[in-house]
Structure formats: C-alpha cells, structure tokens
Structure 1
Amino acid sequence: MRRIFQNMGWLLGGRGLNAVLSLVYLALATRTLGLAEFGHFAIIVALGQTVTGLVNFQTWQFVVRWGAGADGPARAAGFAVALDLLSATVGTLVAAGLVASAPLWLPLPEELLWVAFGYCAISLLSIRSTPTGLLRLRFEYRRATTAEAVQPIVRVTGAILAWLFMPTVTGFILAWAAAEVAVSISLWIAALKGHKPDFSQVSLTTIPRANPGAWRFVLSTNALGSLQVAGKQVMILLVGAIGGEAFAGGFRVASQLGQALVQLAQTVSKAIYPELVHAQDRALQIARRMANIALIGGALAVLVAIFVGREALVLIAGEEFRIVYWAMVILAVGGAVELVGASLESLLVSAGRAGTAFLVRAVPMAIAFAVLETAMGWQGLKGAALCMLGASALAVIGFWVAILDQARISIEFDGEEKRPAE
C-alpha cells in the first residue's frame, strides 16, 4: 500500500499540474472561440482521440504483464511497438473514413476537414502507451510524471500563441497537436534513458508464442480501452451530431470540468494495476481499501462541484457557458462513481478477466448510446450527462458482482483442492 500511494502521489502530482494548466488553456480556447467555434474545436479533438482510442492497444498493460525477467522488457516492448505500428496503420484508414463522412453526420465546416484529418494522423503517430509501460514496469513514476508534464506546458504555451497570433480553430488545433508530439518524444526519451533499444525484438509473434492467451488479452484490453474512450469522446461526437456544434462545445466544457474525477480514476487504475499483477494473493484486499478511500474523495469532489461549479464555469469559460452547470454536476457524480470503480476494474483485468470487464462496460454504454437522442430531446445536455452517469453506475455495479463471483469460485476451488489432503 505504501508503494501504491507513493506512485499515486507522483501520478496525482502530474495530474495536478495538468489540471491547473488545463484551466488556463480551456479559458483561452473558450473565450477566444466562443460557444459555436469551440464546438468545432471540440469535435476535431474528439475525432482524433476517438480514432486513437479505438485502434490503440493498451500496450502499457502488456509491458507490465509480460515484461518480467532479464529479457522480458525487450520482448514485451518489441511486441508493444509492433502493435503500435499496426494501430497507426489501421487508424489512418479509420480516420480517413470518419473525416470523409463527417459532413454527413457532424456539424463540421468543409474547410476544417483537412485540419481534422491532420490532427488524427498526428495523434496516431504520437501513441505513447509503450514507453509509459516501460516506466511503470520499473516503477519509475517520478520520471514518467516529469516527462508527461511536457504536454500541458506545451499545450498552454501553444494556446497563448494561438490567442495572440492565430485566434482560430486551426490555431488551437495546432497547439494541441504540438503537445501530442512533444509528450510522446519526452516519454520515449525517459523510457530509453540507460536502456539501449533492441529493434530485433519488434515482433507480433514472440510474446503470443510464449503466452497462448496473449491475443485474447490483447484484444479484450483493446476493446475495454475503446469503451473508455467511447464514454467521453464518442459521446461528444454524438452530442454534436444530434444537437449541433454549440451542444458539442458545451458538453466538452461540462465534461472536462465535471469529469475531472474520471481522470483521477484512471490515475488510481494506472497506479494500482502493477501492484495487483505482482500481488495476486492480496489483490482483493488492496482493491477494497482503494475503493473505500475513493468513495470519500468522490463525495467531497461532488460537493465542491455543486457549491463552487457555477462560479467556476463563468470564471473560466465565460457567461456563455453558464447553461452547462447542471450537466457538469451530473458528470461530476458520474466521475465519483468511476473513481470508486477504478480499483475494481483493475482487479478484474489483473486477474486475466479483461473480457468480463469489457462486457460489463459494453452493455451499459450501448444502452446509453441507444437512449441518447431521446434523453437529449427530454433534457438537452443534462439528458446526455444522465446517460453517462447511468452507464458508469451500471458498470461499477457489474464490476462488483463479477468480483464477488470470482471470489466465490476461488473459495470453492481452494476448498476442493484441500479436501483430499485433509
């Protein structure tokens, strides 16, 4: 537990810096572009992150899972790099299809289509899960946090330059793209410091040959990661498709402020996953303790959103965005739910049940997408936020039920094993 909290401390320190600087560049973007143009910006960023999230494999988990031993890091990293190259290739094709079809379903002007495709391509080339995995495998969270700090610093610097010299959607997209490239380079430099890369290990077959269930784990974690992206980025696209660019911009602001807790949940998950992999005998106890702590933190954060959120929205984004207050509060509640469920989800994945975790997330998300248009017709942005809250609540309940079932099976199995000896 001491090492978990130490690792979380470094991760949260990075998140804290990112949170503070994100308020700066969010304020610059919203106040410079206005609600409608910020909606176009939000749609382009969501497109890039959707494409990357859908095709990107969670390679950091593979490096942590199969990177033990003298040759383990090189073989695991080689497999991860090969998957990253596959992701970039497939993702470029997916991006071309999405951007080409965008005028049919998204409120995106024709002159911004090439900007959208360029941002998608740069996001794909900047995939950085593998170096992150190498750093976590060695528990070098301080070095990882320092490298990741490059992103918000470059982003806020780019936003200031865009505000001064190119106050358009394209200017701010260029700032975001530069930040993606910079943080990817920074993480690779940190991961390879003192470690010579072995390009001969880049292969899609080495790890699967040694681990028969590797491809099943790869595909299930990729699907789970894609669902996590869908929970935010695809939802922004669908909100824009149904309600227009102003709705997309408003939902982006409400989501970024209200769902800061989801980022915290991901931080908890990233810190706890390596420990759960290496301590399977105490995994359930660790996950339960983290969930109890998260419950207290989530409740406090929701209270802050309720009592301070309205003033914070106006201060950061401007009076025009006051209308998204209740959507932000609802998303904050959803973030608190995700915070509680983060350690439970990591427990399932670390136990090799990523497929179960995927199903538990997929069904509620499918329901949320199915009722989204009806919910927005009923309550606008609040309806969209309620869809996300419902999906999060059902998923966390599902994680808990799956863990209880796994614990029951484990107890029964141990009992059967012990009876003959007795």
Structure 2
Amino acid sequence: MRRVLRNMGWLLGGRGVNALLSLLYLALATRSLGLTDFGYFAIIVGLGQAITGLATFQTWQLIVRHGARHGAAGDALGFALALDGISIAAGTIFSAILIWLAPAWIGLPRNLCFIALGFCLVSLLTIRSTPTGILRLHDRYGLAAIAESATPVVRAIGAGLAAWLMPTVTGFLLVWALGELASTSAYWFFAAREERPRLSAIGLRGASFQDGSPWPFVWATNLSGSLSVASRQILLVLVGAIGGPVLAGGFRVAAQLGFGMLKLAQAVSRAIYPELVRSGDEAHGLARRMTWWSGAVGLATVAATALLGQWALGMVAGPAYGFAYVAMVLLAAGAAFEMAAASGEALLIAQGRVSLALFIRMVPAGLALALLPFAIGQAGLAGAAACVLAGSLLAFAGFAGAGRKSREGLPASDCA
C-alpha cells in the first residue's frame, strides 16, 4: 500500500502540474479563437486523440505483467515495439480516410483538413505506451511524472506565443503537437536508461512468453482502452458532428474542467496495477481499500464542482461558456464513478480476466454512444454529459459486482 501511494503521488504530481497549466492554455485558446473556431480546434484535437487511442495497443500493461512475473521485460519489449509500428501504420490510413471525409460528416472546413491530418499523424508518432511500461515496471514514476509534465509546459508557453503571434486554429494545433512530441521524447530518454530495447528482438513472431500466447491479453486490453477513448474523445467528435462546433467547444471546456477526477482515476489505476500483479492473495484487500478512498475523494470533488463550477467557467473560459455548467457537473460525477471503478478494473486485468473487464466496458460505452443523438436532441450539451455519466455509473456497478463475486470465490465466467 505504501508503494502504491508513493507511486500515485508521483503520478498525481505530474497530473497536478498538467491540471494547473491546462487552465492557462485553455483560457488562452478559448479567448483567442472564439466559440466557433475553438469548436473546430476541439473537434480536430478530439479526432487525433480518438484515432490514436483506437489504434494504440496497451503495451504498457503487457510489459508490466510479463516483467513483474519473470524479472525482466525481455521479449515483451520487442513485441510491444512491433505493435506500436502496426498502430502507427493502421492509424495513418484511418486518419487519411476520416480527414478526407471530414467536411461531409463533421462539417470541418476544407482549409483545416491538411493541418488536421498533420495533427493526427503527430499524435500517432507520439504513442508512448511502451516507454511508459518500462518506467512503471522499474517503479520510475518520478521520471514518468517529469516526462508527462513536458506536455503542459510546452503547451502553456506555446499557447501564449500563439495567442500573440498566430491566434488561429492552425497556430494552437501546432502548439499542441509540439507538446506531445516533447513529452514522448522525454519518456523515451528516461526509459532507454532503464532498459534499452534490442533491435533484433523487435517483431511479432519471435516472442517466447512463458505464459503462452500474448495475443488474447493484447487484443482484450486494446479493446478495453479503445472503449475508454470512445467514452470521451469519440463522443466529443460526435457531439460536434451532431450539434456543431459551438456545442463541441462547450463539451471540451466542460470536460477539461469536469474530468479532473478522471486524471486521478487513471493515476489510481496505473499506480495500483503493478502492485496487484505482485500481490497475489492480498490483491482484493488492496483494491477494496483504494476503491473506498477513491469514492470519498470523488464525492468531495463533485460537491466542489457544483459549488465553484460557474465561477471557474467564467474565470477560465469566459462568460460565453456559462452554458456548459450543468454538463461540467455531470461530467465530474461521471469521472468520480470512473475513479471508484479504477481499482476494480485494474484488479481484473491483473488477474488475467481481461475479457470480463472488456465486457464491462463495452456495454456502457455502446449504450452511451447509441443514446447520444437522442440525448443531444432533448437536452443539448447536458444530454451528452448525461450519457457519459450513465456509462460511468454502469461501468462502476459492473466492476463492483465482478469484484464482489470474485472475493466470494466464484469463477470468472460466473462474474460475466
């Protein structure tokens, strides 16, 4: 538990820097671009992050799982790097198709398509799941926090320059891309000092895993990660496609402020996962304690968002974004449920029950996306946020139920 809290502290330190600086560059972007252009900016960023999330394999989990059980990452690193190459190639093709069709399905102006494609390609090139896995395997969470902080620092400085010299969608997208490149470079610099991958080991056929074929684990964690992206970035893009750029911009602002707890949820999950792999019989107790702690913090944060959210919107984004208040509170509540669910999901993956974790993610995400057009038609931005909240609540209930049955000794199939 001490190691979990220490590692989570490093993660939260990096997230804290990110959160504070993100308020600065969000304020600069919203006030420099205006409602419509900021909406287009939000759609392009969401599209790039969605494509990257869908294409990326969660190789960090494979590296931690294999390395923790067998003492070194070894073949898992070569396998992970090969998967990263596949992700970049597939994502490039997917990006080109989606951007070519973007004017028809999301109303993106033709003059923004070229920069949108460039941003998507940079997002793919900055996939950093593999170096993240190396640092977490070796408990170098402090170095990971330093590397992660490069993105908000570059964005904050760059946003100030963009607001002064190039206050356009293109200018801010260039800044966002430079931030990702800086962070990925730092991740690889630190990871290579811990464990340098062997070029001869890169490939999909040469991996000799003692636990058998890695493909079931790889596909299940990839799909689970994709569903996590679908509940946020794909949903943001669809909000823009259904409701227009202004609604997409409002969703982005509401998510930036309301999803603060989601960053904490990710920190909990990533800090606790290596310990759950190592803990054996003590894993259930560790996950349960983290769930209660996370739930209490989440509840307090939702209350603070409800009380201070209107003021925060005015201070950060300006009075024009006051319409996003209700959505922000709903998204904060959804993020609180995600935080409470993080330990349960990490426990299932650590136990190798990845298919069950995938199923628990799949049903709520599918329902949220299916209900989105109706919800926006009935309640606008608040309806879109309500879909996210409902999906998070269902996911939390699923992970809580699976964890309870697992403690009672039922087989994994019964939990499904």
Equivalent residue number for residue 105 of structure 1: 105
The answer to whether the 8 Å contact 2:78/2:197 transfers is no
1:403 maps onto 2:398 in alignment: no
The answer to whether the 8 Å contact 1:40/1:107 transfers is no
The answer to whether the 8 Å contact 1:148/1:183 transfers is yes
Q: State the Cα distance separating 1:195 from its structure 2 match.
A: 4.0
How far apart in 1 are the matches of 2:264 and 2:406? 26
Residue type of the alignment partner of 1:32: S
1:167-182 pair list within 5 angstroms: 167-182=167-182
Equivalent residue number for residue 272 of structure 2: 272
The answer to whether the 8 Å contact 2:82/2:203 transfers is yes
TM-score for the superposition, normalised by structure 2: 0.96
1:11-410 pair list within 5 angstroms: 11-68=11-68, 72-193=72-193, 195-207=195-207, 210-409=210-409
Which has the larger displacement, 339-348 or 203-212?
203-212
How far apart in 1 are the matches of 2:160 and 2:196? 37
The SS at the match of 2:73 is helix
How far apart in 2 are the matches of 1:109 and 1:411? 53
Q: State the Cα distance separating 1:408 from its structure 2 match.
A: 2.9
Rate the CA distance shift 1:240–1:69 in 2: closer, same or farther, 3 A: closer
Q: State the Cα distance separating 1:406 from its structure 2 match.
A: 2.5
Residue type of the alignment partner of 1:354: V
The answer to whether the 8 Å contact 1:287/1:347 transfers is yes
Give the RMSD, CA atoms, in angstroms: 1.5
The answer to whether the 8 Å contact 2:77/2:197 transfers is no
How far apart in 2 are the matches of 1:229 and 1:202? 27
Segments of structure 1 that go 5 or more residues without pairing to the other structure are: 413-422
Q: How many residues align?
A: 412
The SS at the match of 1:45 is helix
How big is each residue's C-alpha offset from its partner over 1:342-373, in whole Å with a ceiling of 9 and x where there is no partner? 10111111111111111111111111111111
Equivalent residue number for residue 419 of structure 1: none
Q: State the Cα distance separating 1:79 from its structure 2 match.
A: 1.1
Residue type of the alignment partner of 2:280: Q
Rate the CA distance shift 1:208–1:368 in 2: closer, same or farther, 3 A: farther
How far apart in 2 are the matches of 1:306 and 1:259? 13
The SS at the match of 1:107 is coil
How big is each residue's C-alpha offset from its partner over 1:2-58, in whole Å with a ceiling of 9 and x where there is no partner? 000000110000000000000000000000001111000000001100110001000
How big is each residue's C-alpha offset from its partner over 1:101-145, in whole Å with a ceiling of 9 and x where there is no partner? 111210211100111110110111110111110000000111111
Residue type of the alignment partner of 1:26: L
Residue type of the alignment partner of 2:315: L
How far apart in 1 are the matches of 2:341 and 2:58? 19
